[in-house]
Structure 1
């Protein structure tokens, strides 16, 4: 007794032929379905590969064309404005690729508008700051003047590869972003601890220690910002804008050297080491050219 299929010997010749045809038809149908499945798998796999390639190319293109990252809070003009009691003027952060928004001075108020474009590695900036910090501080604290400070990174080449100008300007931007009312204090500390040209400059740990000495309110955030050089892209762009010009609210076309100091839009070209010379220039520009006149209250010259 057999356990297989029907005994083909009992089928007629035509029945055997028909059975063979049917079997062949089934095999062809199974092969067709198999081919379709394989084709679908192949197309799906190719689609995944193509999508991955397209995504990769898109990421490369967008990363190449992507504008610089957003700037710090309170520096929408590319500088930070410090007013009465060293309180910073708050502004939103520049979005990626957004043009800076110049500060518009109120000329009718009688408040003197002082703007400084500086590089924290620049020895001439250090001379001007050490000479005039006290009297400018008195004017700003009392509301006689505002000062807008623009940190630049022109002298990276003078720090033996450490890019100190960029790192110091970034640290200043970090303070402006997270603890703006301590910016004036931190700015002064950067100069009182200014490194010499053609050295590596201050390391990041020292910068963070100066931040602490300035009495900031967000030390942890600023430390991270310094470690990550969070605003280095903005520093580079702000420096480029200052060097290319035009500079707002002045007839000066661009920064040609640091410090560039503007008083009510007029460039100071006098001595960097004579506080009386700068005070006289401020009085002249502000419209009071009396030989004995001083802004009220009387400023104290740096000693």
Structure 2
């Protein structure tokens, strides 16, 4: 049934007044509800903004704070020294760099009979991947036989090249964790990291994937929490800064300008990254030159003839 037809009586003045008052009351109540809702939204927005600013400040403070922190054991030179021994490749044990301390350069074998191979590598660097996968077995044979020592310096110069996951830093930290808790597994862990190397600009391997590689290399389970906590983040940042500012011990290099930086008895290898024969020849040549220098006898000074 419809209402408001032509025969419907017109409301009186009082009825119109009451209807207007009721409508006004409803409008006031609706406005109060909107005001309360807007107030809550504004308060919530202010709180979110405050939290966001606070988070930004904390991030900036942490990001600009000095890295600091002690280094891992067995990396007193900022690198781990691997030598041949009974049962395979072993690490030279060294104390950790103390918080705020400086690294102690490795004293190379100067007998001329051992090649001292030193590498500065970034686990995201594709050129490092080429060098490592090409020469891994050559270096393994040389170290196991006692013909060479291998000193590996993990650094993180490509931390911002992994879609925000800081893979270079996390990977170098993982290497430090293995050096501290399972140094005997370092060579194999290092090799596996390059065999499974992610592409630059990708998110890189997850911590769980890195931990699986550490376990596959024979590392102890104590490495896992060290990886998850990024325990040696400060040391990685410090070691990277030291490599980039130099000087590089036991060489004539002012600093590391890219990775891989490979030295043999202090001489930099700049040959092919994908030709193991070329690298092996360079190692033999550097070792031969060192041997010649160590065995060279000075030319005797002639004795003046008697007058």
Short-chain TM bin:
0.7 to 0.9
Matches of 2:206 and 2:66, distance apart in 1 = 30
Task: Give the one of 138, 163, 177 matched to 1:174.
Answer: 177
Confirm whether residue 81 of structure 1 aligns to residue 84 of structure 2: no
Corresponding residue SS for 1:83: strand
Task: Give the one of 124, 128, 136 matched to 1:133.
Answer: 136
Task: Say if 2:67 and 2:233, in contact at 8 Å, map to a contact too.
Answer: no
Confirm whether residue 158 of structure 1 aligns to residue 183 of structure 2: no
Which runs of 5 or more structure 2 residues have no equivalent in the other structure? 1-63, 291-307
**What is the 5 A alignment of 1:278-297?**
278-287=279-288
Corresponding residue SS for 1:86: strand
Corresponding residue SS for 1:103: coil
**What is the 5 A alignment of 1:1-303?**
68-84=68-84, 85-108=88-111, 110-216=113-219, 218-219=220-221, 221-287=222-288
Matches of 2:232 and 2:241, distance apart in 1 = 14
Matches of 2:154 and 2:201, distance apart in 1 = 19
Question: Could you list the per-position Cα deviations for residues 135-182 of structure 1 after superposition, in whole angstroms to 9, with x for gaps in the alignment?
Answer: 111000111100000001000111000000000000000000000010
Question: Could you list the per-position Cα deviations for residues 40-67 of structure 1 after superposition, in whole angstroms to 9, with x for gaps in the alignment?
Answer: xxxxxxxxxxxxxxxxxxxxxxxx9876
Equivalent in the alignment of 2:53: none
- Scaled by the length of structure 2, what TM-score is found? 0.71
Which is worse superposed, 121-130 or 104-113? Answer: 104-113
Matches of 1:142 and 1:66, distance apart in 2 = 42
- Scaled by the length of structure 1, what TM-score is found? 0.72
Change (3 A) 1:237 1:274: same
Change (3 A) 1:286 1:207: same
Which runs of 5 or more structure 1 residues have no equivalent in the other structure? 1-63, 290-303
**Which aligned runs of 4 or more in structure 1 are off by greater than 6 angstroms?**
64-67
The Cα of 1:106 is off from its aligned counterpart by 1.5
Output the aligned Cα RMSD. 1.7
Matches of 1:149 and 1:288, distance apart in 2 = 23
Matches of 1:125 and 1:67, distance apart in 2 = 25
